[in-house]
Structure 1
Amino acid sequence: MHPGLWREIWILIGIAVLSLFFGALTDHPFLIAACGFGFYIAWTLRHLRNLHRWLLDRRAGDIPEAGGLWGEVFDEIYKLVKQASRRQDQLSGMLARFQKAASAMPDAVVVLSQAGDIEWANRSAAGLIGIRYPHDAGVRLLNLLRVPGFAQYLERGEYVEPLEITSPDNREIHVSIQITPFGSSQKLVIGRDVTRLMRLEQMRRHFVANVSHELRTPLTVLGGYVETLRQMDQIKMEDLKKHLSTMHEQSLRMQRLVDDLLMLSKLETASPRTHDEPVDVSALLTSLKEQAMLLSGENHHDITLETDPSLKLLGSREELHSAFSNLINNAVRYTPAGGTIRLTWRAAGDGAEFAVTDTGEGIAPEHFPHLTERFYRVDTARSRASGGTGLGLSIVKHVLLRHDARLEIESDVGQGSAFHCVFPEQRVARA
């Protein structure tokens, strides 16, 4: 038994003994005992009242002083209170750190009560799902987030699959909502911006559709000619040469498409270049000009080249060859017969610039933002007739990005176009 409790028991025994002793002297033992035990009860009630007052308002002062068993009780209660206060401070600190971390998250985070009211939300919730804390604290989430399907999703109780919605504040932002129950029927709502993922998925679908469409035409032509040749008993040499020539053109078209796709995939997935070599752009353009004249053929384009042999570029010769050849070949394909194509390589400010200027039909300004997209064509029929794959300017864009350069486009409908590849100073090496 606790020593303090023994002490209280001995006090009660002492009161009883003294009451019997003084009661025998005064012939009033019960009166003396009642006074003794009444004093003990009053002393106990006084300590109990002090403890009750202190528990009601602990800010009023320190814990009451007392001796004996009550003193030990007060000391133990004081220790428990201090421990609870430290735990509360720790929990408050953890909660503050959690809120600070959640506030810094790019995803929307909303804590709902058992009734579905908003208890807390981070800053990102305002831009993604229109919840502004503390202004919307205590408001039901369903009253603020009125988007199709969300009410059924929240009340259904099955949150294995996320729900994709459109942001109520910005119709161009797509948000993936995921709900996680926790605690006593509370819910944690997390909204993630999936706009980029949806755009990538849309681009992927368009890419697959475009590749399938681009390959279907030459494959159909090849299949048709092969089937025709199989069914012919006798084949004239002239017809055979004609058919084989067409089949060869279609196979080259598919080969160009596959080569451009491989080059584009390589550019998109390759790691940033760490070792660059000096590229003799003048020599490279001289070779590309000769190829352009062969491509021009009977169209007899007037192709001129002006270069500064002292300017070299730090980069990949293979990638620059691909970008420059695409620009030059586009100029040859889309410039009418007898037109002029001018190639220039010169210093521009602190850097350098490669430009291809033609006298073709030109491009309307509304097409400029889309020219570097995959398979985008200003004139689909003419592009396919000229043998283009629709990937040339997309390759140019990625090559220039890998060389810290930019593409500038100038064009007037009916007066021609000019494509400028502007390279920064750190990419230019002067002889």
Structure 2
Amino acid sequence: MKDLYSRLFIAFAIIFLILLTGLGVVLGQFFHMIDHGITLQVQRKYWIFLLVILSIAYFLSLILSARVIRQYAKPIDLVTKTAEKIARGDYLARTPIDDLGSDNELGIAVNQVARNLQETSILRAMEKERLKTLVESMGNGLLMFGREGSVNLVNGVFEKTFGFDSDKLKGKTFMEIGLPQGIENLIEDVFLTEQVHERQIRNGQSHFNVYGAPVIGRHGNWLGIIVVTHDITKLVRLEEIRKDFVANVSHELRTPITSIKGFTETLLDGAMNDHSTSKEFLGIIQKESDRLHVLINDLLELSGIERDGFQLQFQEVLVSDVVESATKIVFGLLERKNMKTILNIETSITVEADSARLIQVMVNLLTNAINYSKENTTITVNAFETADEAIIEVMDEGIGIDRVELPRLFERFYRVDRARSRDSGGTGLGLAIVKHLIEAHRGKVTVESEVGVGTKFTIFLPKKSA
């Protein structure tokens, strides 16, 4: 810029000197003619000559001035246009340096400003995108209110969980949204106390842990509040299952232990001297001990299946061999109730599975079918295949299961008929073991039933292990 000012000063100084010289010549000639008494005609010639010289000097000065102005005004116009584009938000605008000639310092500076603004804009866009991605991917519902109490930010998880539309929420206060009462109360408490609040609420069948906190700026100024909701429905459900499990185990253990303890005390009190009575009591103690032993074994079995280190021994297995082996194991139970089995099995069906575990699954299903069927009935086992799966069906003609009971059938200790299950020696863990073993094979098991008609369990096993 200093070079620009100096050059302009020199140019205008030259123009001023030319005009001043022309004017000096004119005045000198004028006074010379007056002193020597030159005639009017000669004076006119001199005046014409001097006017011509002065006009030439004037036009030369105009040309020089226009050249100087054009040389230095054009770059300024280019820089001005670029600055106007930048001011409108076009950070890609640049001043063509080649058109500025040697006086390009201003253009370079403006271009550098544009580059800096462009980088800042890109950085802000990246940070905004990162924040948006973080908010949408956090897995928890997020709701933010400004200092005036209206909604500023809401993420997709919150919308999906509570059925809201972000476009309709923006600008509304928390009282106008229609939030669950528990969340409304928490937000109101945060606004009133400017303190962190956290509580658990229930909305229908879902449970949420709701966290509300004030948003404070760097200088301690109040910016609003933020509300985060975390779905803890599964955790609450697991806690309920754990409580039920502890209660059921305690109940199942208490019955045989109480019986063993009672009959033992009776024997010690003198009943042992009566041979028939002591034999009867000892038989009951043995029966309860066996039941306790089976229960503990099933608990250990289920616990082992659920461990992370549980492994299956995969090999090529014929489904027909598995079903026949299981049928032989339960043959005594079938004879006791005069029941028979019908096997409709394609002999060529093979799967990659753990043979011993599949036999255990079939034994549990067949035992369950026998225990809940009347005497002189039939159990049918069908096995067929698709392109990717082997399908095994176990159907009985038993008492059947009410439709409302089916979703809980594979839970631990869940019994449809508790008295009958206990009399049959069942622990309530057989179907839970079946479900876990089939899922360990990457398969699934389903159940269909009709009260008074019978029940059908269907196993879907992939032919190839994962």
Q: Specify the alignment match of 1:26 in structure 2.
A: none
In structure 2, how many angstroms separate the alpha carbons of the residues matched to 1:232 and 1:200?
Answer: 48
Q: Specify the alignment match of 1:50 in structure 2.
A: none
Query: Paired residue for 2:371, among 314, 333, 338?
Result: 333
Q: CA RMSD in A?
A: 3.7
Q: Structure 1's 340 and 134: CA in aligned 2 closer, same or farther, altered over 3 A?
A: closer
Q: Specify the alignment match of 2:464 in structure 1.
A: 426
CA contact 2:393–2:457 (8 Å) conserved in 1: yes
CA contact 2:135–2:155 (8 Å) conserved in 1: yes
Paired amino acid for 1:212:
S
Give how far 1:267 is off.
2.6
Residue 377 (str. 1) matches residue 411 (str. 2) = no
Q: Specify the alignment match of 1:416 in structure 2.
A: 454
Query: Paired residue for 1:147, among 161, 181, 190?
Result: 181
Q: Specify the alignment match of 2:155 in structure 1.
A: 122
Structure 1 runs not aligned, ≥5 long? 8-53, 64-71
- The residue matched to 1:162 in structure 2 has which SS? strand
Query: Paired residue for 1:321, among 337, 359, 362?
Result: 359
Query: Paired residue for 1:348, among 385, 400, 414?
Result: 385
Q: Structure 1's 128 and 364: CA in aligned 2 closer, same or farther, altered over 3 A?
A: closer
Percent sequence identity is 28
Q: Structure 1's 153 and 292: CA in aligned 2 closer, same or farther, altered over 3 A?
A: farther
Give how far 1:79 is off.
7.4
Paired amino acid for 1:204:
R
User: Which of structures 1 and 2 has the bigger CA Rg?
Assistant: 2
Give how far 1:271 is off.
5.8
Residue 166 (str. 1) matches residue 202 (str. 2) = yes
1:359-398 alignment runs, 5 A limit? 359-398=397-436
CA contact 2:272–2:278 (8 Å) conserved in 1: no
In structure 1, how many angstroms separate the alpha carbons of the residues matched to 2:87 and 2:459?
Answer: 76
In structure 2, how many angstroms separate the alpha carbons of the residues matched to 1:238 and 1:246?
Answer: 13
In structure 1, how many angstroms separate the alpha carbons of the residues matched to 2:447 and 2:320?
Answer: 22
Q: Structure 1's 354 and 87: CA in aligned 2 closer, same or farther, altered over 3 A?
A: closer
CA contact 2:384–2:391 (8 Å) conserved in 1: yes
Residue 252 (str. 1) matches residue 252 (str. 2) = no
In structure 2, how many angstroms separate the alpha carbons of the residues matched to 1:325 and 1:364?
Answer: 23
Residues paired across the two proteins, number: 366
1:247-326 alignment runs, 5 A limit? 247-270=285-308, 276-296=314-334, 298-305=336-343, 307-326=345-364
Q: Specify the alignment match of 1:235 in structure 2.
A: 273
Larger RCO (CA within 8 A; separation ≥ 6): 1
Q: Structure 1's 130 and 341: CA in aligned 2 closer, same or farther, altered over 3 A?
A: closer
In structure 2, how many angstroms separate the alpha carbons of the residues matched to 1:122 and 1:420?
Answer: 42
TM-score scaled by length of structure 2: 0.67
Residue 202 (str. 1) matches residue 240 (str. 2) = yes
Query: Paired residue for 1:101, among 114, 121, 134?
Result: 134
CA contact 1:362–1:414 (8 Å) conserved in 2: yes
Give how far 1:166 is off.
3.3
